[in-house]
Structure 1
Amino acid sequence: MPRKRSTDDGDELLARLGSLTAQARERAELQRTQVELAIALQRGMLPRDLPTAPGLHLAVRYAPACYGLNVGGDWYDAFPLPDGRIGLAIGDVQGHNIEAAAFMGQVRAGLRALAFATGEPGELLARTNDLLLSLGSELFATCTFIRLDPATGAMESARAGHIPFVWATADGKSGVVDDEGGPPLGIQRGIDYPVTRHRLTTGGLFVLLTDGVVEGPSLAVEDGLEQVTRLAGIAAVAGLESHALAAAVIKGAESVGHEDDAAVLVVGLDGPARP
């Protein structure tokens, strides 16, 4: 009898282990499917083509999160506006899952659609903010929007809770843009977003990025921005292509120890900017 009971106990243990293993496999498969779906959603919503203009160079890089479900929030966009200028946007949705990826698509689509009614960055962010609040979602998004005139290099920018972007000029100067900004989109109604004016000079660069590029467990955001500023300054002085700088910046994101998406948008001008 003891031998029989021991055998029964062993069979029951094996059965339980088999059941737990099957459940773990199902959860792993479900998680893998969700990750693939979130990445597919995000990649499908990012622009396939970037606008072109004489002397203007745009370059983008995007790296999805590599761990768990930490994917879905970051995006970038670049598109021509009705007046011939170019709209540039980069942002990050709170959360890292399929819901965040879907909300990111709503933000990007809404912002692009509203930009054809008003390309003025401050008003555009204010309208997008009201639109997101009307959707009733509990999510919010950070965003930077720039309106660029490629013929003159004149730029206007507004920022909604997003990290500031980096600039560099061909004469060796570089830094982080010092602007006021406003709160993230989708939190509070009736927000005004201040507009800052810049100029993209010949041989100059602007680098827009998400926090996954410059902030993480291994790197403070100030140090990350300093790292990108240094890279941008070297690239501008050396006359490196925008694509090379974008690749170097996204490569540097590996040092932050993050489990987040990372997106980079580089804007360069080598044409004769008119006063």
Structure 2
Amino acid sequence: MAVREQVNGVRVGVRYAVADHCGGLGGDWYLTTPLPGGDVMLAVGDVMGHGRSAAATMMRLRAAMTRLALAGDEPGAILAALNRMLCRRPQTTLATAVCGRFRPSDHTLTWSRAGHLPILRATAAGVSQLAQPSGMALGVDPAARYDTARVVVDAGDLLLMFTDGVVEQRDQAIDEGVRHLADDVRLALRASAPGERVRTALDLAPIGNPDDDACLLAAEPV
């Protein structure tokens, strides 16, 4: 499944795939939500496991994240609330997530992560990882804290958020998969026409592991 749209001055696109053996029920999620005042919430998350239980948990986390973002909560506070929600469940349920609030008025991305993979940023100089704020996976410790980072994202820069199914392979470390994704995006964008960078990144970046759900979100301020 692929979705492309423009949200509050940000060109966004998502490619989403459910693991081959899961009958269409996945635990990965994403948000590209317009917020009051003109900001945009960008997020991806991954509930551990597959099937109906993971999909149900995913839907609850996604709904809660949307509600908190619309209420004006910052990314670190949103992840802390989701963490407490999971920790209250009688059975152990783990999830990872990364979420950012992008403010088009000053091109600032404020973001936090919960045990999740880094955000990649593609600029004219290349593709690199954003510095990662600290934050453990959701569902481990109800008192966990989630730090916040801020970065200016210029018009034409491309942000990539993704779950491990995009970069995971049976025969390689996940860090190597992240490097391969960065290399693929770097090569793809060299020949990309203006206004086509989101589509090109989604079309040409590989989905790594057919046994896992995979979500790739690309966002470009315009």
TM-score between both structures, scaled by the size of structure 1: 0.73
Counterparts of 1:257 and 1:216, CA distance in 2: 6
Tell me the alpha carbon deviations over residues 165-195 of structure 1, each in whole angstroms, 9 at most, x when there is no partner: 21111x2222122213311112211111011
The reply on whether 1:138 has 2:92 as its aligned counterpart is yes
Q: Cα distance 1:122–1:68, how it changes in 2: closer, same or farther (>3 A)? A: closer
Superposition deviation, residue 147 in structure 1: 0.3
Which residue of 146, 165, 172 maps to 1:219?
172
2:117 corresponds in structure 1 to 163
1:126 corresponds in structure 2 to 80
8 A Cα contact 1:140 1:187, kept in partner: yes
**CA-atom RMSD, angstroms?**
2.3
Tell me the alpha carbon deviations over residues 136-183 of structure 1, each in whole angstroms, 9 at most, x when there is no partner: 3421210001000123321011000111121111x2222122213311
Tell me the alpha carbon deviations over residues 83-104 of structure 1, each in whole angstroms, 9 at most, x when there is no partner: 3211111010011121011111
Q: Which moved more, 1:217-226 or 1:128-137?
A: 128-137
Q: Cα distance 1:82–1:49, how it changes in 2: closer, same or farther (>3 A)? A: farther
Which residue of 51, 55, 80 maps to 1:101?
55
Superposition deviation, residue 214 in structure 1: 0.4
Aligned length: 219
Superposition deviation, residue 70 in structure 1: 9.4
1:27 corresponds in structure 2 to none
1:18 corresponds in structure 2 to none
Structure 1 residue runs of 4+, over 4 Å off? 48-51, 68-71
| Structure richer in helix, relative to its length | 1
Counterparts of 2:37 and 2:89, CA distance in 1: 29
Identity of aligned residues (%): 32
User: Which protein has the larger Cα radius of gyration, Structure 1 or Structure 2?
Assistant: 1
1:52 corresponds in structure 2 to 7
Q: Which moved more, 1:260-269 or 1:232-241?
A: 232-241
Superposition deviation, residue 113 in structure 1: 1.1
Counterparts of 2:171 and 2:108, CA distance in 1: 36
Counterparts of 1:96 and 1:53, CA distance in 2: 33
The reply on whether 1:229 has 2:182 as its aligned counterpart is yes
Superposition deviation, residue 72 in structure 1: 1.9
**Which structure 1 segments of 5+ residues have no match?**
1-42
| Structure richer in strand, relative to its length | 2
> 3-state SS of the aligned residue for 1:147?
strand
Which residue of 262, 266, 269 maps to 2:214?
262
Counterparts of 2:80 and 2:22, CA distance in 1: 34
Superposition deviation, residue 117 in structure 1: 2.8
Superposition deviation, residue 232 in structure 1: 2.8
8 A Cα contact 2:188 2:204, kept in partner: no
Q: Which moved more, 1:95-104 or 1:109-118?
A: 109-118
- Structure number with higher relative contact order (C-alpha < 8 Å, ≥ 6 residues apart): 2
> 3-state SS of the aligned residue for 1:82?
coil
TM-score between both structures, scaled by the size of structure 2: 0.89
1:14 corresponds in structure 2 to none
Superposition deviation, residue 49 in structure 1: 8.3
Q: Which moved more, 1:58-67 or 1:70-79?
A: 70-79
Q: How does 1:52-201 map to 2 (within 5 A)?
A: 52-54=7-9, 56-67=10-21, 71-169=25-123, 171-201=124-154
Counterparts of 1:190 and 1:49, CA distance in 2: 37
Superposition deviation, residue 78 in structure 1: 1.2
